[in-house]
Structure 1
């Protein structure tokens, strides 16, 4: 017998499942590591590994070519958040040199069911996101630095992620192969 009249929004269910699963991963890392900095490093490393794989899916879905400048990169990062997390952060606070910008989130699906206790004030709960961006950009020959400026989990008005262009990476040929 099937239920009639009950319709689930698959995207909402997937988003909530991802959010809860991510929370479980963070909780497990907190149990595995004594030092909060080690947890933050592990989250960033996990994100980096996801980013180096996720870029292929992003390029396949969007058919995007090379970025012409860092502003073009910012727009593609913004569309990646829309595709994979269902949110569109605003791109703000460009540096005068045009090599640095902020992504501002009104809402963050990773923190939907989360409250940090006071003793976790050094935890960078969403540190997976800078790792994803760093890994994805590295795969398209761009080295960036990425860090949080503001975090709603720490009672800020919004979540702000800062992205800075470091350098263009040259295609490397493995030693011995010419």
Structure 2
């Protein structure tokens, strides 16, 4: 029987639980970053510890319900994230005030600097230009948005890396799962579901995860086409 993910005990302190709040930073570098910061300030915060433990309990139960099949759990997390992303796009539009995305480059920029910033206190460290192969990407190959590589079907590919993931707090994967389970695969579904609502057809998948022993977390987004938007951003607000 495969081992399930293990969770450390929540540390007890004399103060309130740590809130999902960003660390202090210098001035925002881009307009998108500033929009993301303002949007994050507007939303209601929750306990980081409670958030992580609740998600961990969900993954554990999925693992039990699906006979410890990591591949099925990966799919279920992705599908759950897609449903969340479809709903979060409304929150994104209401809170961010960001303009509509007209190109994959704009969409990728908004995902990293606004969307993920609103719901994840850790700002992505940088965008990377992935190689044509699907192998590991060096963090030294930073590239500007819009300089993404092309995928096998010609779609623009962007990659986002981040050092810390609030979903990973208190989690340790046993060796039996480190090569099969993408613990935070829900994030891929959230990104795909949100982009789908504004007309972008994408493939989104994890490439690296610190829980698997990698030095950084990395999610890759491949844009495959454009469809009619299900949700339109109202710029009259």
What interval of TM-score do these two structures reach, taking the shorter chain for normalisation?
0.7 to 0.9
The CA deviation at 1:166 is: 0.8
Compute the RMSD of aligned alpha carbons: 2.0
The CA deviation at 1:80 is: 1.2
Q: Indicate how the Cα distance of structure 1 residues 114 and 65 shifts in structure 2: closer, same or farther if over 3 A, else same.
A: same
Q: Indicate how the Cα distance of structure 1 residues 134 and 7 shifts in structure 2: closer, same or farther if over 3 A, else same.
A: closer
User: Normalized against structure 1, the TM-score is what?
Assistant: 0.87
1:56 aligns with 2:113: no
User: Normalized against structure 2, the TM-score is what?
Assistant: 0.66
Within the candidate set 85, 88, 99, 2:123 is matched to: 88
Q: Indicate how the Cα distance of structure 1 residues 137 and 109 shifts in structure 2: closer, same or farther if over 3 A, else same.
A: same
Tell me if structure 1 keeps the 8 A contact 2:162–2:218.
yes
Structure 2 unaligned residues grouped into runs of 5+: 1-13, 22-45, 130-147, 231-237
CA distance in 1, matches of 2:121, 2:155: 27
The CA deviation at 1:71 is: 1.6
1:68 aligns with 2:102: yes
Structure 1 unaligned residues grouped into runs of 5+: 173-178
Secondary structure of 1:54 counterpart: helix
Structure 1 window deviating more from structure 2 (43-52 vs 62-71): it is 62-71
Within the candidate set 21, 31, 34, 2:64 is matched to: 31
Number of equivalences: 168
Which one has a larger percent helix, Structure 1 or Structure 2?
1
Task: Please name the residue that 2:48 is paired with.
Answer: 15
